[in-house]
Amino acid sequence: MSRVLVTGGAGFIGSHTCDLLLSNQFEVRVLDSLQPRVHPRGLPQYLHRDVEFQQGDVRDRAALERALEGVRYVYHLAAYQDYMPDFHRFLDVNATSTALLYEIIVDRRLPVEKVIVASSQSVYGEGKYECPRHGALYPGPRPIEQLERSQWEHACPICGTDLQPSPFDEAVVKPHTAYGISKYAAEQLAVQLGRRYGIPSVALRYSIVQGPRNSPHNSYSGVCRVFTQRALHGKRPVVYEDGRQLRDYVHIQDVAAANLLVLLMKEADGQSFNVGGQRAATVLECAQLVAAACGQPLEPILRGEFRVGDTRHTVSDSMRLRRLGWIPRHSLEDIVRDYVGWMREQDEVPDNSDAAAKEMLLNGVLRPAAVTA
């Protein structure tokens, strides 16, 4: 049997990946520090009992060395994800741990046959847009002064026309948050060191992954969580900007399937892949779908607040992975139904959205709406 190490395997994507690996006859070991922000009650009950669990930090050499013993494949999923301005922590947890992983494999000449690292759509920054006159553009973040005037769309720097969003493939990368930069650093370390030292490596750039087990305590876990928590407490969803931001949401089972596929296919080696959803949807549509699934026809609150660092439209084109035979099988409606169904089964549904918004306001991450005359 082949043993697989899954770092961050007690988390959302990791635990589903473990289940799929076990059902495909792999032995699975997890290294996870059980971050209190994700797991306030410690080891989650959903973790499969056949998983060999080791508690430890991926930045700790001894813990990582122990976890790598007798391992054939590695999924490196442990990460720090948040909106908070503790910039160094993103690099420390996400990038340094990836370098350490390769350092140990190379130093100890470990017979690891493949490493798969979790990257993110955030490596594209603002993504790709089209100007009807000037073609494809990859703008930087929107200036705060522009957002303070409630002007949400990107404008062409040459003619000033509002740009049209366009799905992006893997070609142009332009991260602009500490998280996005750390994820790109991690995937470059994996792909480049993997190439140099003959360790087949793959980076998967997930879009917004949603579904059961997405920690209700993790503030970086996507809008489905916060909309569901509020709806189940009878509160209206709060939508930033004008709610017309486009996103693509991908079901956790499609992500687990992508993880397994690239492990099994040699053709994936040395590459980065988008792992996106079936279609683009606005944040408003997502809010409305969640409200309907919760049986709460709650009208969204649109105050025109915005979060610094949020992108306007980000939609991945997953053709490269589709060419290897992967398809996203689940619709946004499936995603919302499965997530809301799972949340309803929980003993308690925490809702700290108002406190989180207050903290973001204090930190300057969330900015109030423009003052109108």
**Binding residues for ligand NAD (CB under 6 A):** 7-8, 10-14, 32-35, 38-39, 57-59, 77-81, 93, 118, 120, 206, 208-209, 215, 218, 222
Pick between residue 112 and residue 186 the one whose CB is nearest to ligand NAD. Answer: 186
Strand partners, 3: 27
Residue 320 contacts by C-beta under 8 Å, 6 or more apart in sequence? 169, 170, 271, 273, 274
Nearest by Cα to 59 from 24, 94, 30: 94
CB of 359 to ligand NAD, least distance (A): 18
Would the CA dihedral through 332, 337, 339, 340 be positive or negative? positive
Measured CA to CA, the distance from residue 11 to residue 155 in angstroms comes to 39
Q: Write the CA distances from 9 to 43, 44, 86, 137, 227, integer angstroms.
A: 11, 11, 24, 37, 26
CB of 39 to ligand NAD, least distance (A): 6
Comparing every residue's Cβ against ligand NAD, the nearest one is: 11
Pick between residue 9 and residue 304 the one whose CB is nearest to ligand NAD. Answer: 9
Pick between residue 179 and residue 240 the one whose CB is nearest to ligand NAD. Answer: 179
Pick between residue 193 and residue 208 the one whose CB is nearest to ligand NAD. Answer: 208
Measured CA to CA, the distance from residue 217 to residue 171 in angstroms comes to 34
Amino acid at 261: L
Nearest by Cα to 349 from 228, 209, 223: 228
Pick between residue 8 and residue 304 the one whose CB is nearest to ligand NAD. Answer: 8
C-alpha 130: how far from its chain's center?
25
CB of 339 to ligand NAD, least distance (A): 12
Amino acid at 188: Q
CB of 310 to ligand NAD, least distance (A): 15
- In the chain, % helix, strand, coil (3-state, to 5) comes to 35, 20, 45
CB of 22 to ligand NAD, least distance (A): 17
Pick between residue 84 and residue 137 the one whose CB is nearest to ligand NAD. Answer: 84
CB of 54 to ligand NAD, least distance (A): 10
